[in-house]
Structure formats: C-alpha cells, structure tokens
C-alpha cells in the first residue's frame, strides 16, 4: 500500500513538472524581450581645430567593463544599448556625456579644451602629459607675457621668462638683435644651442612671429629629452603654432611701431680744430707748429677735400634715428566642414648703420577638413 501510494504521488508530480518548466521558460523569454538591444557604435573624436584625438577614453557610464580608446585617426568602436550613456574623457579637455539614443552612425564628437585644467597639461617630446605625472625638468611659457613685449625677435622676448635660460647676443651690430639661447649651459667647445621643434619639424626660432605661436615648452634634463637622443643633449624647445578652430571667423590685427636712436654718440671736433689744438700742444712743449695757417684754412673751407679732409664718420656711417615696425594680420575660424588659419606678417627692422634694412615677409596658410 505504501509503495502504491508513493507511485501515485510521483505520477501526480510528473504532470506538474512540465507546467513549471514551461512557466519558467516563458518568464525568461519575456524578460529578454523587454531588455534593450545592444548595437555596435562607431564614431570619431576630434579637437576644437578639427584634428583627430588619439587615446580618448570612450566608456559606458556606470559600467567598468565597457570601455575603449580612439585610434590614430580618432575612430572608436563600442557596444551600447538605447538606455545607456557614453562618456568621452581626455586629459586637458572637458568630459562629455552623450546618450546612446542620440548617437548616430559614424557620429563625430568635438571636444573642447578645459581652460581650468589646461595649465596642468604640458607638451613633451611624444605628446602631452599632466604636470603631476611629469618627472623631468619641463618649463612652459605664458604667451601673453611674450606677445606683450615689443621685441624684434622671439629669442629676445623669451629672455627672463624661463628659469635657468641663458641668453647671449653675440653681435653688437645694430639690427642684429637675435639672441643665442642656452638651456643646459655651455658645456662643450662645439654647438651648445638647443634644437627647436616647430610642429614636429626642426626650424629656426627667430623665423616665427609671436602672434602665430600657441605654446612654447622647454625640455631641460635627460629624462625629458631622451626621445631626441644625442640631438637633445643641449635641451629641446618645442613650439606648437596656432590652428583653425570651429566658430565664427576671428580677425586679429597687431601693429607695432618703435623709434630707434643711439643712446650716446661722441661729438668729435673737426679737422681744422684738431690741427689748431695740435699746434698749440707743440708750442706748449717748446716745439714748432706742424700745420701752417694756410693748411688749417684748407681744412675749414674744404677746398682740397682729398688732401685736407674733414669728415664726421659718425654721421656718415650711422643714422642717429631710425624706426622698426612689426605688423601681423591673422584670420582664424571654421565651420562644420573644415577649419582655417591665415597669418600674414611684415617685419621691418631699421638699423642705425647706414645699410639696407631687412624686410621679412611671412605668410602661413593652414586648412584642416573635419
């Protein structure tokens, strides 16, 4: 009887088991259908100038397992659902959050610089880093302090702006105002000047105008200059020039004018006065005079300029007053398709020496499609 009763219970449970399994399967299927479907999201991240940003972190908010970074072209690929939010973060830029539902196919995200933390980012030999993570000796220059000076060359404008920077002007010739800069002192008999890298290319520092420079960074010690090898033994100056930005066109005109004059020039006597004083000195010593009255008269009247010249060489060689002018016109802007930067400059440096004053004309054009 007990065995028959147990079999009866087991038989009843066998009817209930399929029903329980069917209900559980139905519940799981409904839950899966209600969950938002994920999709592959592709896009591109650029900066305010339209250049692709490398290494931008793209992650799903509140999900540490879903994250990626942009490649060398600024592109990324990540999975996300409609109810999630993508977070774009990069050093020196404002973090952005965009809902997945608002992101289309191959959408371009433009990141804006974070002005509050921009001073905490420095340019190094291989990119940018935060100041707190830099262990090498690196100095940056505030370009507002440089452009506010009416200096004829960048090398002169940088004097006194960087700790440990040594400057020397090799020539005293009027008009040759470029200074030699030394970062790590003068330790060898050869060339001790640092190399200057402008937008990744080695160039002369004094061929640039201050209004076209965005940032200047000085790499001083071996840890900061290691990427340049032996060429960076004397230090490295890294310069980034201005680029176009998305926004309304911004036109800037900067014009400087300065008068140049010698601080002090000697006032010499003429040849006739010199001859008279010479005769007076000889007579005081009991000697006969060297110049006759007729010869002294020829010095004064200039009747025989070849044999009895009277020339003021200061007036013949130097201009006691001259001028210098620096003019720069730039246009910066861009729309949703491309950005542009135009810069035109004329630099005329007058010389107190009566030689031909050099006129330097510069023009730089830079377009960057988005």
DSSP codes, 46-75: E-TTSPBPSS-EEEETT-TT-EEE--TTSE
Give the residue from 232, 201, 243 showing the smallest Cα distance to 138.
232
Strand partners, 353: 318
The whole model's pTM is what? Answer: 0.53
Q: 118-241 falls under which CATH superfamily?
A: TonB-dependent receptor, plug domain (2.170.130.10)
The residues, ordered by sequence, that sit 6+ positions from 71 with a Cβ below 8 Å of its Cβ are 54
Q: How many CA atoms lie within 13 A of 210 on its CB side?
A: 25
Q: Residue 138's pLDDT is what?
A: 73
Give the residue carrying structure tokens 């999709």: 39
Q: Residue 224's pLDDT is what?
A: 62
What are the structural domain ranges in the chain?
1-33, 38-110, 118-241, 247-263+320-369, 271-310
Q: Residue 97's pLDDT is what?
A: 93
- The dihedral over CA atoms of 220, 226, 228, 229, expressed in degrees to the nearest 10, equals 120
Strands 75-81 and 180-182: unpaired
Q: Residue 338's pLDDT is what?
A: 79
Separation between Cα atoms, residue 310 and residue 300, nearest integer Å: 8
Give the residue carrying structure tokens 């300029």: 305
Contact 238, 128 (CB under 8 A): no
Separation between Cα atoms, residue 70 and residue 45, nearest integer Å: 7
Indicate the angle between helix axes 271-284 and 293-301, nearest 10 degrees: 160
Strands 121-124 and 127-130: antiparallel
In the three-class reduction of DSSP (H, G, I as helix; E, B as strand; rest coil), residue 138 is classed as strand
| CA 293 to mean position of chain CA atoms | 70
| CA 318 to mean position of chain CA atoms | 38
Q: What CATH number was assigned to the domain covering residues 38-110?
A: 2.60.40.1120
**Helix (H), strand (E), coil (C) string for 216-232:** EEEECCHHHHHHHHHHH
Q: List, for residues 256-305, the tens digit of each pLDDT value.
A: 888 777 777 788 899 999 999 999 999 999 999 999 999 999 999 988 99
Q: Residue 308's pLDDT is what?
A: 93
- Rg, the chain, Cα only: 38
Asked if pLDDT for residue 35 goes beyond 60, the answer is no
The residues, ordered by sequence, that sit 6+ positions from 134 with a Cβ below 8 Å of its Cβ are 122, 124, 224
| CA 298 to mean position of chain CA atoms | 64
Strand partners, 234: none
Q: pLDDT class for 88, splitting at 50, 70, 90? A: very high
Q: pLDDT class for 16, splitting at 50, 70, 90? A: very low
Q: Residue 186 has what DSSP assignment?
A: -
Separation between Cα atoms, residue 351 and residue 174, nearest integer Å: 5
**Helix ranges, 193-270 (H):** 222-225
In the three-class reduction of DSSP (H, G, I as helix; E, B as strand; rest coil), residue 322 is classed as strand
Q: List, for residues 145-172, the tens digit of each pLDDT value.
A: 777 777 777 888 888 888 888 888 777 6
Q: List, for residues 132-146, the tens digit of each pLDDT value.
A: 334 456 777 877 777
Q: How many CA atoms lie within 13 A of 211 on its CB side?
A: 24
In the three-class reduction of DSSP (H, G, I as helix; E, B as strand; rest coil), residue 201 is classed as strand
CB-count burial class (<10 Å; 0-12, 13-18, 19+) for 70: buried
């Amino acid at each position: 009887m007990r065995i028959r009763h147990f079999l009866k219970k087991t038989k009843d449970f066998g009817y209930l088991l399929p029903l329980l399994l069917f209900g559980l399967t139905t519940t799981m299927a409904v839950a899966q259908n209600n969950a938002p479907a994920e999709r592959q999201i592709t896009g591109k991240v650029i900066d305010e100038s339209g250049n692709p940003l490398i290494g931008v972190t793209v992650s799903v908010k509140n999900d540490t397992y879903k994250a990626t970074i942009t490649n060398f072209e600024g592109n990324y690929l990540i999975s996300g659902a409609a109810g999630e939010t993508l977070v774009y973060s990069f050093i020196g830029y404002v973090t952005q959050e965009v809902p997945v539902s608002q992101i289309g196919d191959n959408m371009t995200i433009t990141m804006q610089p974070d002005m509050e933390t921009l001073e905490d980012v420095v340019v190094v030999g291989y990119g940018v880093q935060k100041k707190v993570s830099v262990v090498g000796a690196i100095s940056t220059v505030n370009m507002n302090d440089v452009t506010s000076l009416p200096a004829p060359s960048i090398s002169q404008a940088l004097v006194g702006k960087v700790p440990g920077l040594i400057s020397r002007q090799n020539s005293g010739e009027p008009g040759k105002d470029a200074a030699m800069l030394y970062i790590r002192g003068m330790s060898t008999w050869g060339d001790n000047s640092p190399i200057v890298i402008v937008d990744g290319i080695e160039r002369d520092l004094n061929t640039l105008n201050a209004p076209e420079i965005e940032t200047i960074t000085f790499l001083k010690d071996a840890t900061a200059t290691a990427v340049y090898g032996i060429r960076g033994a004397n230090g490295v100056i890294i310069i980034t020039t201005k680029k176009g930005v998305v926004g309304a066109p911004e036109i800037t005109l900067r014009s400087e004018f300065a008068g140049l004059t010698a601080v002090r020039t000697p006032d010499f006597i003429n040849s006739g006065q010199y001859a008279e004083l010479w005769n007076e000195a000889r007579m005081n010593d009991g000697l006969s005079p060297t110049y006759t009255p007729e010869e002294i008269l020829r010095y004064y009247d200039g009747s025989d300029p070849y044999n009895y010249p009277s020339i003021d060489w200061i007036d013949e060689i130097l201009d006691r007053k001259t001028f210098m002018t620096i003019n720069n016109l730039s246009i910066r802007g861009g729309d949703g398709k491309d950005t542009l930067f135009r810069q035109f400059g004329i630099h005329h440096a007058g010389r107190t020496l009566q030689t031909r004053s050099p006129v330097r004309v510069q023009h730089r054009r830079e377009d960057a499609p988005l």
